Structure 1
Amino acid sequence: MITCVRPAPVPSETPVDLPSSARWRGRVRWVGLGLIGSGLALIPWLVVLAVGLPASTTAAHWSTAWVGLDGLEAIGLITTGVLLNRRDPRRCLAAAVTATLLTVDAWFDVTTAAPGADQATAVAMAACLEIPLAVLCAVLAARTVPRA
């Protein structure tokens, strides 16, 4: 019987820039501040959009946009399921992205639907399918994050 034993790692003589180093923390801090600034900079733009956008519009590639979004959701659900069954640590990322896509789809389905039957269908699909799947994926994402 042959047994494979991994040799113990040899300590490096050169210092390694580990994520816990002060240099790394400084970079992360600047990136974090940049993201906060970007989010705050969007607030005036949101006001401009809310005041300036027309109530209705025509989109040249409307079906392409919806088919693309739903296609990404399908890929996300399949990927999350495959990675979950394989116990792959990346399953948390796939689940988080899929939860986001499902939430965005529900939002745009409901807010762009025509009043009446179309809106009722959009609300029913959001309430009974998209949001529950999004919550499931969000819970999977939170519970499957690899522990250090």
Structure 2
Amino acid sequence: MLAGTMPRTAEVSNWSAAWIGLDAMLAAGLTGTGLLLRKGDPRVAPVAAATAALLVMDAWFDVTTSAGTGGQGLALLLAAGAELPLAVACAVVAARRTA
């Protein structure tokens, strides 16, 4: 139902602020995960889990918003070569630290 009722295009205000905010959250999550992991801090698990989710979300939106453009190849390359592997690494850290 939702897919059938959504507009095919949309004008978005504050587009750059949304992407900059997401990138800032990713940077904070990756930095926090690394620092907490280095210290052996058990709080690393939720930070790593949240960072994994943000990375998957970023890959999804990069690929879907670039569909049909010249940037789609780069978006797919970054998703497959960086964002999704980092998400898996963060998920593994989260899983191992909660067990």
What's the TM-score once normalised by structure 2's chain length? 0.95
> How does 1:58-69 map onto structure 2 within 5 Å?
58-69=11-22
How many angstroms apart in 1 are the aligned matches of 2:97 and 2:37? 9
Deviation, structure 1 residue 87? 0.6
Given the alignment, which residue of 77, 83, 91 partners 2:44?
A: 91
Q: Is structure 2 residue 17 aligned with structure 1 residue 75?
A: no
What are the ranges of 5 or more consecutive residues in structure 1 without an aligned counterpart? Answer: 1-46
Percent of matched pairs sharing the same residue: 51
> How does 1:12-91 map onto structure 2 within 5 Å?
47=1, 49-91=2-44
How many angstroms apart in 2 are the aligned matches of 1:120 and 1:82? 32
What are the ranges of 5 or more consecutive residues in structure 2 without an aligned counterpart? Answer: none
Q: Deviations over 1:30-81 (max 9, x none)?
A: xxxxxxxxxxxxxxxxx2x211111111101111111101110000000000
How many angstroms apart in 2 are the aligned matches of 1:85 and 1:114? 38
SS at match of 1:56: coil
How many angstroms apart in 1 are the aligned matches of 2:84 and 2:33? 16
What's the TM-score once normalised by structure 1's chain length? 0.64
Given the alignment, which residue of 86, 90, 94 partners 1:133?
A: 86
Larger RCO: Structure 1 or Structure 2 (Cα < 8 Å, ≥ 6 residues apart)? 2
Name the CA shift for 1:138/1:67 in 2 (closer, same or farther; >3 Å): same
Determine which structure has more spread, i.e. the larger CA radius of gyration: 1
If each structure's helix is expressed as a fraction of its own residues, which one has the higher value?
Answer: 2
Q: Deviations over 1:71-124 (max 9, x none)?
A: 100000000001001111100111000000000000000001142421111111
CA RMSD between the two structures: 1.1
SS at match of 1:106: helix
